[in-house]
Structure 1
Amino acid sequence: MKKNKSILILSFLASALFLSSCSDYLEPENLSSISEAQQFDSTSDTFSALIGVYAQLGGDDGYGQRLSLILTHSGDDFRTSGNYNCNDRRGVATFGACSTNTELNGPFSKLYTGIERANLVIKNIPLSPVMQSGTADDKKLMDRYLGEALTLRAQYYYELIRNWGDVPFYLVPASDVAEQNQPKTDRDVIYDQLITDLEKAATLVPWRSEGGTTSNRISKGFVKGLRARIALARAGWSLRRSPQVMAQGSNPQKYYQIALDECRDIMNRTGDHSLNPSYESVFRALHTNAQDATNEVIFAVGAFGGGVRTDSKIGYYNGLKHHDNSVWKGGGGINALPTYFYEFTKYDLRRDMNVGIFTINATNQAELAASNSWTDSKYRKSWTSITGPSQTLAVDWPLMRLSDVMLMFAEADNEINGAPSQEAKNALLAVRNRAYAGNLGQVGAIPADKVGFFNAIVKERLLELGSEGLRKYDLIRWNLLASKIAETKQKLTDFINGTGAYANVPLNIYYKNSVYDPTKTAQQNIAAIDVYTIGTDKSQVFYLPNQSATTPAGYKSIAWRSGITATYITDPSSGYAQYFVPNKRELLPIYFEYIQNNYNLTQDYGY
């Protein structure tokens, strides 16, 4: 399961230097001035220190599970499976987490550990003797390391802000801070500093093609993409402390312009990153630690080693469900809302990648799944080489893809110009054209007015970026979370009643088991399932009323529309977004121990 990439192997070297032994989220590393100086007296030692910063991306508390899969739900696409408990992952997904929820403890701590490690690198590189008397090439390399550390620190702070809002802000190592117990800093202040830092980092870090960079190492493309993402967050809405309401950031046009410029720079570097003609291939590559053919994945968190600190449970915790007695075993921890499946048309190739409507049974066959247990489907244990009970699969997590950049560009362009330019329309159209490859006549018209185009972007990001940990935060920065939750509850009600857009959705579908071949495409897997129809194309069965009043001989019945009842919306233990409260639950509570340990840190937001 180990990846043959030096950047990941060397993380073991760095962990010995930077391991924290204290439960506090920010603790001085207690390095003497001599040992700290020695750590940065050569390019090789500095690189080891930098790997220690990268190392905080992975593992269970990082993007190997919690930051990618648990803290990111629910939006209007997915929810965590199981019943509500304020102290576990279901509490997070239903917007009802308690401050004692242990899912919140590790990620908060891990992010600040990453910031502390980054601060050590950022402080010491300019002081290094390499920067005073090294060769020009060595100085250039040290500058690159500095740019990467600035970018990682920005990513860690961005993650803290999008989950917890205002947080304590440290730009120097803990050993240089007189008062460890810092109060919260307004997020706009932090965002502005990160935007400045990333502007500098972009001058130091090479493009992918210039630096021999894989998707597991930061390139200029990711620096610029992250700067655009943070600029859009700065321009957008967020839950404020005083008064406790959703409010937009100041001077949004300034930040839309930053996002526009940065995204355009990335899009112009077609030799570095371009859309992969195959949507599925992008995610297949993540399962084998490979670079996708066109480098659409700009940056992915590498997973390796089989341990909770460095590997990932992506594809085991989430993804297509494989029965415990199947060859693979795993998946199913995240459920797709049944209405999400119907946001896609039958011509959209992304539908069967984003929503898993079948499961792998104990004899490794594919069976249709009831609509209350559909899953995300971009991640599948059966797409790895790992079988049996193993939970760590070394599947990488994509932090940024080019299609995301293109849609950010189109969004910023529309906001700046008051309507989309042709360039913005082309960016949206390119994403849609890939989704409808082979059926371009079904793409539809691109709106030319500001409101219509914005709504098209909101919809396209839902379809393109499903289960990639972005949707909830997109809805928050657009100030649409409350309205989309209400809209989704109405859609679920219509789904249950078979009204409106769901008038022709069948109550039940009749099918036979099929051979599951993981080498086939997602669309081929669905097409292989024998579904019962009368005189119509089998692909239409999901969009037609019941094909029979009773179960036909030789077929099995699966609950389709009948798989969802009113309790899916109203049950206190399992209802969708049951505990969401506007102007309160857009953010998570801080784990109680951090409040106890820092007398200047407040809980806020009604927790």
Structure 2
Amino acid sequence: MKKLFYFILTACVLMNISCEKDFLDVQAPSSVDDNFVFGTPEEATKVLAGMYDIWHDLDKNLYYDVVSVGSDSEHHPEPYSAQARHIPMGLFPVPYDINDGNALNTWNEGYEIINRANIMMRALESNPEYQKAVTSGTANAWTQLYGEALCHRATNYKLLIMYFGDVPYFDYPITSTAQTDTLGFTVRDKVYDGEIAALKKAAPLMYRLGGNLTAERFSGNYADYLTGRLAFDAAGYQLRRTDFDYGNITFDQWGQENSTWKAKYVRNTNWQSYMQTAKEYFLKVVNNPGSAYLIETDTRGAKFDNPFQLNFQKLLDLEVSPESLFEAGYTRTQNSDWPYSWGRPSGGAGSNDHPNKCYGQGRINPYYIFGDFDPADKRRDVTACFTGNTGKAGEILMSFARGNREKGGLASNKFDESRMNDPYIPRQRQSGVNWQQVRLGEVMLDLAYAAAATGDEATAKTYFKKVRARAFSAANQATKVTAYVDGMSGQTLLNGIEQELKLETGGEGKRRWDTILFGTFPKHIQEMRNNMRAMIAGLETNGYYTFPNGVQISSFVFTKNLKIKDVDPGLDLLTYQTPAGLTESDSKYPVLVPGWRGTNNGWADYLATLSPALQKNHIAIKGMFRYIDPASAEGLALLADGYVKAPWGSNLVANKVEYTDDFFLGYPDGSFAAGVPPRYIMPLSYSTLSTSNGNLTQGYGHASE
């Protein structure tokens, strides 16, 4: 996004040689003089820069394949048979290539960062200025750098556990293969404990957000969050091997052991102690946030009243959001996947189009959007896009036919290159939009969950309400926020917070891992499949389906292409949001509902070069949330007015197997009732196994070669 300090510095100096035949594939220093490298904070920053640079590539790998598309609210756009990545996303219904490149890269790059962090931390520990600061308990540039390196290490261990389960753990530099000759798996609880303890010491000596320290670097705020989140993860349900010795650690178990692939779905019986730590450190974040704050007011002027959307607009405006604790920072001309893979799709070319191609990897479950959201919730239309970009500065109705770009179903509307002040058109995947990885909205809901889980319902409700409040207008606060939250207690409260996280973070790739930790992943898979079947059956039988919240989805919607200025000369979809109380009788309703769509104003000159038909670049939509019978007086009037019946839910019917049975194909009907554990752990590669001297073995029923 911005021209970050670490992108203009020299490449990381710790890239001299690789440990040959090292299953960790870490990179070690050879003749590097650590005293020179870390002689000044500026020189040490160069090493840190290399870690951030690797991180930009690392966490996209399996996030792309599995995390962002494998929940009850998010899915992949293409048919199940189209790509091998659907196998791990769908919980391994068939054997999987253990040498998958994205999994191997995640493993290798994760350990590369971990070892670089250890090398840097070891060098800093002998620095007199660092030692003085630690002794006095005063933060300085050296303790900040040490903390950033530790955050890199802890973040990568967290990630590796999420994907691979128990992993090798070391908190010291590895400079030769001899150090890994006997290194095997470490019980993940010990990894969590080790990193939590280290972060507790380092976080108070890091700078808080503010001044020259933005959320594009790890801060004391992020370190506190990471401490809490590691504890939160440690408290949760995870898949564990039954052919592995966990020592004296005991577990609470969900369902049955799977004797075929030797695993069980459990949580540490000491989970409440971890949750207490999570609560303590999440409170540190919200009580001492530095310059970060939850966006609760829309500051864009009278036409706007959606603080939730403003957070994402900041990113599209190439600004660090004040709600962010950490954003992976990107510059223009640097390859990234925002919005290309997780934004509003575009049918444009790879370069010099309006906007360029946007594939739309992460898609949004239609039942989630139509059925889970209260119709008054301001987050709904921000979360899902109902129209995509043509690539010729126009709108196109999304399609539930399987495919990509405008096909594949609803996509995320949180990242839309059309909404950028200055869209970057020279080349796709180079928009400069940052990846917001942690923001205060989700931290507050994690805090609410941890507080509720440890019996502190007052704190839980305080932060539950705080996040939910910005999603509703002032007129709805009493009923849809205060009474809604206050009516919950015990397990109902925990369920309510889990649902709020789903509503808050849709399309951001948070849901899959959250539900795994909550122990609700199996239940939600079956519920999602049942809900989708009911919706599709209604569409097939009646031409529409009515959700419990009163919203309807129809087989067809009515659409008409038009010029937005013909509706209202003052109307501008980029600087005008759907006003509260807008009724269907208003002439602006068809172009403002669903909201947060349109095309960029800066492309007016380009539009003028197109044919008159293409200059009608916006779509008026009627019947998106309410069934309109085509044979009724209303339907006939719309057809007479130039509207056409556009396929909508009918494409769900035509692809019903893809949207039901093929979702989580490796967890078929009956699995939840039978207590079958969900197999989400990725396999280790052959190269990792074969170079580990037998210290690492394949688990969870995956092949070894």
TM-score (norm 1): 0.88
Q: Which segment drifts farther, 314-323 or 174-183?
A: 174-183
Pairing partner for 1:370 from 399, 422, 439: 399
> What does residue 89 of structure 2 align with?
93
Q: Counterpart in 1 of 2:180?
A: 180
Per-residue CA deviation, residues 459-507 of structure 1 (Å, 9 max, x unaligned), is 1000101122211000100111111010000010011012662784322
Q: For residue 507 of structure 1, what is the amino acid of its counterpart?
A: S
In structure 2, do the counterparts of structure 1 residues 28 and 411 end up closer, same or farther at CA, with 3 Å as the change threshold? closer
Residue 513 of structure 1 aligns to a residue whose secondary structure is: strand
| Distance in 2, Cα, partners of 1:18 & 1:400 | 33
Residue of structure 1 aligned with 2:649, choices 554, 561, 571: 561
Q: Distance in 2 between matches of 1:362 and 1:468?
A: 24
The match for 2:547 is: 501
Paired residue secondary structure (1:245): strand
Describe the SS at the equivalent of 1:4: coil
Query: Using the alignment, how far apart are the partners of 1:152 and 1:505 within structure 2?
Result: 45
Residue from 32, 54, 69 that aligns with 1:73: 69
Tell me the distance in 2 between the aligned counterparts of 1:275 and 1:452. Answer: 25
Partner of 2:690: 596
Q: Give the C-alpha shift of residue 570 in structure 1.
A: 5.6
Match of 1:586 among 665, 675, 680: 680
Higher-Rg structure is 2
Which of 563-572 and 325-334 deviates more?
Answer: 563-572
Paired residue for 1:35, among 30, 33, 36?
33
Aligned: 1:248 with 2:277 = no
Q: Which runs of 5+ in 1 are unaligned?
A: 533-537
Partner of 1:426: 462
Q: 1:593: Cα distance to partner? A: 2.6
Aligned to 1:206: 207
Amino acid at match of 1:202: A
Q: Is the Cα–Cα contact under 8 Å of residues 89 and 103 in structure 1 kept in the other structure? A: no
Distance of aligned partners of 1:399 and 1:521 in 2 relative to their CA distance in 1, 3 Å threshold: farther
Quote the residue 1:405 is aligned against.
Answer: 443
Worse-superposed segment, 364-373 or 197-206: 364-373
- Asked if 1 retains the 8 angstrom alpha-carbon contact of 2:88 and 2:680, the reply is no
Q: Distance in 1 between matches of 2:127 and 2:530?
A: 60
TM-superposition CA deviations, 1:275-332 (whole Å, max 9, x none): 113111211222343122xx2111111112634xxx4121112311111255112222
Partner residue of 1:529?
Answer: 591
| Rounded Cα–Cα distance in structure 2 between residues aligned with 1:523 and 1:21 | 58
Given residue 501 of structure 1, which amino acid in structure 2 is its aligned partner? F
- Per-residue deviation, 1:438: 4.6
Q: How many residues align?
A: 589
Q: CA deviation at 1:595?
A: 2.1
Question: Against the structure 1 CA distance between its residues 289 and 531, is the aligned structure 2 distance closer, same or farther, given a 3 Å change threshold?
Answer: closer
Give the secondary structure class of the aligned counterpart of 1:105.
helix
SS at match of 1:509: strand
Partner in structure 2 of residue 392 of structure 1: 430
Contact 1:165 1:239 (8 Å CA) reproduced: yes
Q: Which residue of 2 aligns with 1:115?
A: 114
For 1:338 and 1:57, how far apart are their aligned partners in 2?
32
How far has the Cα of 1:130 moved from its partner?
4.7
Q: Aligned pair 1:381/2:417, yes or no?
A: yes
SS in 2 for 1:400: strand
Q: CA separation in 2, counterparts of 1:16 and 1:150? A: 16
Runs of 4+ off more than 6 Å: 132-139
| 1:510-536 deviation digits (Å, cap 9, x = unpaired) | 111355867246758x9553889xxxx
Q: CA separation in 2, counterparts of 1:249 and 1:321?
A: 42
TM-score normalised by L of structure 2 = 0.77
Is 2:4–2:329's contact at 8 Å kept on the other side of the alignment? Answer: no
Contact 2:11–2:46 (8 Å) recurs in 1: yes
Match runs of 1:220-369 below 5 Å: 220-242=220-242, 244-269=263-288, 272-277=291-296, 278-292=307-321, 295-304=322-331, 306-307=333-334, 311-324=335-348, 327-331=354-358, 332-342=360-370, 343-369=372-398
Aligned partners of 2:314, 2:651: CA distance in 1, in Å? 34
Segment drifting more, 93-102 vs 167-176: 93-102
RMSD, aligned α-carbons: 3.2
Matched, 1:513 2:561: yes
Q: Equivalent pairs: percent with the same residue?
A: 23
Supply the distance in 1 between the matched residues of 2:144 and 2:193 (Cα, whole angstroms): 22
C-alpha deviation, 1:20, in angstroms: 5.5
**Contact 2:444-2:463 at 8 Å conserved across structures:** yes
Matched, 1:58 2:56: yes
Which of 589, 614, 624 lines up with 1:542 in the alignment? Answer: 624
Offset, 1:174:
1.6
Q: 1:565 to 1:95 in 2, by over 3 A?
A: farther
> Residue type matched to 1:435 in 2?
A
Q: Give per-residue Cα distances to partners, 1:398-435, cap 9 Å, x unaligned.
A: 12111111111111111111x611x3212111111101
- Structure 2 equivalent of residue 189 of structure 1: 190
Task: Tell me, yes or no, if the aligned pair for 1:25 and 1:113 is still in contact at 8 Å.
Answer: no
Runs (5+) with no aligned partner, structure 2: 243-261, 297-306, 401-407, 539-544, 565-571, 580-587, 595-619, 669-675
For residues 264 and 139 of structure 1, the distance between their equivalents in structure 2, rounded to whole angstroms, comes to 21
1:287, 1:395 within 8 Å by CA — same for their partners in 2?
A: yes
User: Which moved further from structure 2: 192-201 or 472-481?
Assistant: 192-201
**How far did 1:584 drift?**
4.8
- 1:214-269 Cα offsets, whole Å, 9 max, x none, are 11011111111111111111111000011611001231121111111111122223
